[in-house]
Structure 1
């Protein structure tokens, strides 16, 4: 799913959280965490460009075509294992920031799982490590976003 869609979904989630709870901290945390984990795409693309000496372009970055070119996909901040840890932290602490981060991150992963060509297990970091980040093992159509 593209970052702009994650931002829109984050706005909706944050506004909904505020409307229901009146808690601005929870609202802001859920909004920000709905798209901030996508920073790993920029890190991965930057590393790809540095290794291959390819000049970065917005078109290549936003299309995600570089994943297929390098035949791997890491996206280190996208993992259901992290979500489990975040949910546990939110339940234990009940801090609005922890709850909001868990909510936004859950929304992000769910939308990515539905909207991208990767499998559910492809969003598990332990599985990606096991298959050495090979895109053919992680994504259905050898594409990712």
Structure 2
């Protein structure tokens, strides 16, 4: 899914989360998990694609939309992280973390579709 789609779905999920739970923490977490999770794309661009000479957002977006990155190192998109977070949630169901996990799960599902 393109960034605009992730933004729209994350805003909708965040609003729905707040409506259902009344928790601003859960709503913020769902937005972070649904949209801000993509910060690892930028870190991949700078560190692994070695584009530190062109760190501006326009160059970053142009690179990803016109080139094929050689490798993608996206730790926030990993099943391992989701599994660890789920285990932490079982022990400590903090609203921010639960919201993040739900938003990230939505994000990953839409990435696959």
Tell whether the 8 Å contact from 1:7 to 1:35 is kept in structure 2 after alignment: yes
Task: Report if the CA contact (8 A) 1:10-1:30 is conserved.
Answer: yes
Provide the C-alpha distance between the structure 2 equivalents of 1:63 and 1:54, rounded to a whole number of angstroms. 15
1:50 aligns with 2:51: yes
- The alignment's C-alpha RMSD in Å is 2.3
Which segments of structure 1 move beyond 4 Å, counting only runs of 4 or more? 53-56
Q: Distance in 1 between matches of 2:18 and 2:101?
A: 15
Choose 1 or 2 for highest CA Rg: 1
Using CA pairs below 8 Å that are at least 6 residues apart, which structure has the higher relative contact order?
Answer: 2
Residues 18-73 of structure 1: CA deviation (Å, up to 9, x unaligned): 1111111111111122111211111222232438x779725533416241xxx322
Paired residues of 2:89 and 2:97 also in contact (CA < 8 A): yes
Deviations 1:56-96, CA, capped at 9 Å, x for gaps: 725533416241xxx32222321011111112222221210
Partner residue in 1 for 2:109: 110
> Which secondary structure state, in structure 2, belongs to the residue aligned with residue 60 of structure 1?
helix
What are the residue-to-residue correspondences of 1:52-67 with 2, within 5 Å?
57-63=59-65, 65-67=67-69
Please, what TM-score do these two structures have when normalized by structure 1? 0.65
- Structure 2: segments with no counterpart, 5+ residues: none
Q: Which runs of 5+ in 1 are unaligned?
A: 115-145
Q: Give the TM-score, by structure 2 length.
A: 0.81
